[in-house]
Copies of this chain bind each other. A is one copy, B any other.
Amino acid sequence: MKLGEQSYALENPPKIIAHYSVAGPVESKGMLGNFFDLKLDSDEWGEKSHELAECKMHHTAIMKALDMSGLEFKDVNAVMCGDLLNQIIASSYSAKDIEIPYLGFYGACSTFGEMLCVASLMISSGSFKNVTCSTSSHFSTAERQYRYPLELGTQPTPTSQWTVTGSGCSVLSSDGEGPEIFACTIGRVIDLGVKDANNMGAVMAPAACDTICTHLNDLNISPEFYDLIITGDLGKFGSKLLLELARERGFELKDVHSDCGSMIFNNQPQTIQGGSGAGCSSLVFNSYIIKQMKSGNLKKVLLVPTGALLSKTASMQGETIPGIAHAVSIGYRYN
């Protein structure tokens, strides 16, 4: 059922019946290291390129989550995948030997939120029964593609973020047990004119603010309805900006807001403002957050993956960078 401008109440809330997380070496040494299902001690994971390593991480996350769900391939309506690589090859190559219909999504680092919205609506309405939702990113594939060869040793700027090496997968189902998705808000593209490709927090904070405020208005609730409102990868600077922007729209988020990008590392100096990447929110969600929900420490969470819709070509042509964010309400009634 549509609520307000951009939100939906899910009458038959899909359950997250299984989840899996694969983390790179820097992430594994971060604050959430203990929560990851698989911790890699090398960026390459025995592959001949970083791109193949990302595919292997993404494929592993899907297959392990499917294993844990107990579902057979034939029972799964679709694998929904996304990543940051050009033509999302980490996704399509991961799905090559999985004999399940494939749907590819691109919403930059908001992709995990985008596919959770679509999958939830599909399951709640009865179109689908079981779906996997997965994203990945990799520091070295992202640096090569978006920035400079690693060998150059280029100095990051003070507003830089560190692309998360990792992948997370959730299996959503109409039946079974697990945290439930009871509402979602699909975001709009927001462009406030930022052109600095090294300041993604500033690009995404206005989009996060727009989606969160719209969500709260559409559902007619206050921020305290949630134990946690967690954005994808605003980083430390972007998180501050979000709080200020939300205040201007009448919402105080400081007591409930955290950011996946800000919490994933442990002040490791190279990570500067924190983590980013399409794998950031799915890795944190499919490890720390979902385990906190299952242990009863969190009851209601608003997950808001955020994305900067930039491309190297657009930045080189001097274009502004639009942002987007999607919000998913998750609750766990068994605690």
Contacts and interface: CB of A to CB of B under 8 A. Distances in A.
Interface string A280-312: 000000000000000000000000000001111
Nearest to A309: B92
Contacts of A122: 118, 121-122, 125, 127
A45 interface: no
A145 B189 CA distance: 24
Q: How large is the interface on A (under 10, 10 to 19, 20 to 34, 35 or more residues)?
A: 35 or more
Contact of A101 (B77, B127, B188): B188
21 contacts: A6-B101, A49-B317, A51-B313, A84-B87, A85-B311, A85-B313, A86-B313, A87-B106, A87-B314, A88-B106, A92-B309, A93-B322, A95-B322, A96-B191, A96-B322, A102-B186, A102-B187, A103-B105, A105-B106, A122-B122, A125-B125
A175 interface: no
Interface string A97-123: 011111111111000001001100110
A137 interface: no
Given A86-B311, A313-B51, A105 B105 contact: yes
Name the 4 nearest CB pairs between A and B, nearest first.
A125-B125, A101-B186, A92-B309, A87-B311
A87 B51 contact: no
Contacts of A121: 122, 127-128
A32 interface: no
Interface string A74-86: 1001100010111
A61 interface: no
A186 B311 contact: no
Contact of A118 (B82, B103, B125, B310): B103
B103 A87 contact: no
Nearest to A7: B101
A67 interface: no
Given A317-B51, A324-B92, A100 B188 contact: yes
Given A127-B121, A127-B124, A189-B96, A87 B86 contact: yes
A126 B187 CA distance: 20
B96 A103 contact: no
Given A49-B317, A126-B125, A189-B102, A86 B86 contact: yes
A319 interface: yes
A74 B87 CA distance: 31
Contacts of A84: 87
Contacts of A102: 186-189, 324
A104 B98 CA distance: 23
B313 A89 contact: yes
